């Protein structure tokens, strides 16, 4: 039986996307009908897990008409949800693809303030979940009103209750996560350089930098995304490099979240670290084969996983 999984998204969004031919300023642009999709790091991980046959609960804040739409969209995708109501309207992001050049323009909105009482309610809701999740994924940005220290406090509480914490965030929140230490961390190569106090890293030095974080007790496993070069998975006893398969890339949106979903699916089933790394790269690469804001298809992910496992 697979381990139970909770994903946490504190700054969720509905991604509204459209296409237009020849994007130009000060001109009335005739766009195609908008497409609405759920968005936010943890939410995308849960969406990916559904495709891989793994149950999870997606916990997120929800407010106003956009929040209601987000819940409806997730229910359509068979994602189990647990929401915390907020006075603030759930944010929208806006994505436009210029079909004449196949260029994507992404407009990210900040979201509105979370109140102190709402932040307390989020924390209480998470910590009192029963049965408590064996794996917890914290992914995405922080909304206005929630300080980075809040994430550190949350990680500490999750660990005290025995959950394996996987973190995919950035900036000050990532610094707070590292103070507490997590089970798995997924920085990109630029973030890894910052975390280890180095000006820059390349593919040859990334594994040593990741090992530094493991040795310092900041994570049991560090998975470094190398983009077209694949990924390194580094633990205390293993360093695994998985090359990225060559695929036709249409969009990189959602590739990081898809990679996390792939790794969590293997972790939940009790697989090996090598299998985790391969499925992570397979799902991340498969996501780039989808246009717009789509995640990966199960068919593409499984095909790439088999190729990587040869």
Cβ neighbours for 58, distance < 8 A, ≥ 6 positions apart: 7, 9, 42, 43, 46, 47, 74, 79, 80, 81, 82
Q: How far apart are the first and last CA of the chain?
A: 27
For 269-285, what is each residue's pLDDT tens digit? 999 999 999 999 999 99
Q: Per CATH, which fold does 5-308 belong to?
A: 3.40.1190
Going 112 to 30 to 290 to 229, the CA torsion angle's sign is: negative
User: Cα separation of 300 and 310, whole Å?
Assistant: 16
- Is a pLDDT exceeding 90 seen at residue 146? yes
- Active-site position among 15, 168, 207, 257: 257
User: Cα separation of 147 and 136, whole Å?
Assistant: 20
The confidence band for 21, taking pLDDT boundaries of 50, 70 and 90, is: very high
Average pLDDT of span 108-123: 94
pLDDT on residue 198:
85
- Is a pLDDT exceeding 70 seen at residue 306? yes
- Please tell me the pTM assigned to this model: 0.94
- Is a pLDDT exceeding 90 seen at residue 1? no
pLDDT on residue 55:
95
Q: Is 202 annotated as catalytic?
A: no
């Amino acid at each position: 039986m697979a381990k139970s999984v909770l994903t946490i998204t504190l700054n969720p969004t509905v991604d509204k996307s459209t296409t237009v031919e020849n994007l130009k300023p000060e001109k009335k642009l005739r766009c195609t009908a908008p497409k609405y999709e759920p968005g936010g790091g943890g939410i995308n991980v849960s969406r990916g897990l559904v495709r891989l046959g793994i149950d999870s609960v997606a916990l997120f804040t929800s407010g106003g008409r956009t929040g209601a739409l987000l819940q409806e969209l997730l229910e359509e995708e068979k994602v189990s949800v647990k929401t915390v109501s907020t006075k603030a309207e759930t944010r929208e992001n806006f994505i436009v693809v210029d079909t004449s050049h196949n260029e994507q323009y992404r407009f990210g909105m900040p979201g509105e303030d979370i109140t102190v009482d709402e932040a307390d309610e989020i924390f209480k809701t998470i910590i009192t979940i029963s049965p408590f999740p064996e794996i917890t994924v914290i992914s995405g940005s922080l909304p206005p009103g929630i300080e980075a220290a809040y994430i550190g406090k949350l990680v500490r509480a999750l660990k005290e209750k025995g959950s394996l914490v996987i973190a995919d965030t950035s900036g000050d929140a990532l610094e707070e996560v590292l103070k507490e230490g997590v089970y798995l961390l997924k920085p990109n190569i630029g973030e890894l350089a910052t975390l280890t106090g180095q000006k820059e890293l390349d593919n040859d030095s990334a594994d040593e930098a990741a090992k530094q974080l493991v040795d310092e007790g900041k994570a049991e496993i560090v998975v470094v995304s190398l983009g077209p070069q694949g990924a390194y998975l580094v633990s205390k006893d293993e360093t695994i490099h998985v090359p990225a398969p060559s695929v036709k890339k249409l969009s990189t949106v959602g590739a990081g979240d898809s990679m996390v979903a792939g790794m969590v699916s293997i972790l939940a089933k009790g697989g090996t670290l090598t299998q985790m790394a391969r499925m992570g790269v397979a799902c991340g690469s498969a996501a780039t084969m989808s246009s717009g804001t789509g995640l990966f298809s199960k068919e593409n992910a499984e095909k790439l996983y088999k190729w990587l496992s040869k």
